[in-house]
Amino acid sequence: MIKIRLARTGAKKQPKYRVVVTDEQEKRNGRFIEIVGHYDPISEPPVMEVKKDRIAYWLSVGAQPTKAFSDLFKRYERTSRTSR
């Protein structure tokens, strides 16, 4: 099954995450199909940039978002709508 999830990058105690599309059997930071965004929780306010069209495509072909990604994406959607 294909998943949309976070892959950790960055240094010790300075996390940054890539939003990746990958097979669920791959390791957290293992091989991936496509990078569709990134998330920086350290910056103030936290920054999340995603390619909405690519996420929509992967969801349409059956990819499943992880709980962590879905919670972050919902929060990102809410804040991006209110800031317009």
pLDDT tens column, 10-39: 999 999 999 999 998 888 788 889 999 999
Domain spanning 2-82, CATH class: alpha beta
Angle at 59 (CA atoms; ends 14, 29), nearest 5 degrees: 30
Mean pLDDT of all residues in 56-81: 90
pLDDT tens column, 38-65: 999 999 989 999 999 999 999 999 999 9
Pick the closest to residue 22 from 2, 36, 37 (CA basis).
2
Domain range summary for the chain, segments of one domain joined by +? 2-82
